[in-house]
Structure 1
């Protein structure tokens, strides 16, 4: 969920050198936010102070460099702040696995598509199709993975996952034949695999393959 939006956008708008420090800040920022939320959850920031410094410093340096080059990226700050606030609330309540928290994380990830376009000096509309495809994929993945692990056997989640994948396949029909093919495969995955007992590792491997197919489809 970290690499796919960045890669999909960069493959669409073309790699610019500021995309590299952006990627570094994105990865270290994720690790920083993980330990920040752990501090909020446990209410013991001292336990993760070293990690906060370890990942916070490069995030600030690399992120500051990108902002220096593209100050217009600050327009995205309110959206990221609001979504991080959702994560903080769930961390305090110890409900990190809640659907709302997952969707907030998906939104943070997918916004990176627009961020990459802005870094390249391109308008957001340039990557509109990529954003829709990536967002549709990750929202579906949240529902699908829940039917495979934490909500296994939950008929409500299973029906919601199938219904969502049907809608996303219909959306993909308007985005291109390649994306339609990928989302039809994702629909089959969501319908068939929950009937089998896959390990979390096997579920992860199938999602890596699905991510590769999505990236290929968005570049065709």
Structure 2
């Protein structure tokens, strides 16, 4: 009897944790990569720490908000919305009070979030445009990081373009590996975008070329192979680290 109770407690604890953690493991690289690159490029400032907290808590808040919109059952996600709302608000307020200039980017984020809301309402959150709106939000964090450091936006523009190319390409590629596997149109879109990204990367800095060439090969070769989602994710972790290193070296 005691063993059954002991076993049940970890199971219940895991269930409670899962209630507050989205099953979107690939999102974490997209969330953290622009932040790490931005802070490394402009130099750390103390408001960057509450920014990171607000950014991650805000993502979790938005995920459950979109789930509430999608299901039309906000009460089902009331606990998550309350917890992450209470976490996001004071952290975001700290950043704004420390560097009010970050509010210049609020209208852009509002417009992009409106796109997410629209797709959540129509229950089409897997649409390509919805994913691209999320990518744009992540990459724009570079400018928030620069504003906090009181650096001109031009300082992070090359990194912004580089990460935008990488993350948009990743969205297209991952679709060809999972949800759009076997879709010739998506394969052409993915490979075509990676070709264009390679050309832009070469124009930005020659040091970016090897990584973007590798990303192009990945987009062209791997969709023909049946990889499990975990394998696709592991490959993307490696790619994210390679992009991080080369961006910091080149830009």
TM-score (norm 1): 0.99
CA distance in 2, matches of 1:144, 1:178: 22
Give 2:13's aligned residue: none
Unpaired segments ≥5 residues, structure 2:
1-29
Give 1:163's aligned residue: 192
| Partner of residue 125 from structure 1, selected from 127, 139, 154 | 154
Alignment RMSD, CA only? 0.6
CA distance in 2, matches of 1:18, 1:181: 35
Unpaired segments ≥5 residues, structure 1:
none
Write out aligned runs for 1:183-198 (5 A).
183-198=212-227
| Partner of residue 19 from structure 1, selected from 33, 36, 48 | 48
Write out aligned runs for 1:138-217 (5 A).
138-217=167-246
Report how far residue 177 of structure 1 moved.
Answer: 2.2
Write out aligned runs for 1:96-115 (5 A).
96-115=125-144
CA distance in 2, matches of 1:174, 1:100: 26
CA distance in 1, matches of 2:242, 2:149: 24
What secondary structure is seen at the aligned counterpart in 1 of 2:179?
coil
Q: Which has the higher contact order (CA 8 A, sep 6+)?
A: 1
1:97-128 CA distance string (max 9 Å, x none): 00010001001111001110111110110001
Give 1:9's aligned residue: 38
CA distance in 2, matches of 1:88, 1:131: 24
1:106-153 CA distance string (max 9 Å, x none): 011110011101111101100011000000000000100010001111
CA distance in 2, matches of 1:90, 1:52: 19
- Choose 1 or 2 for highest CA Rg: 2
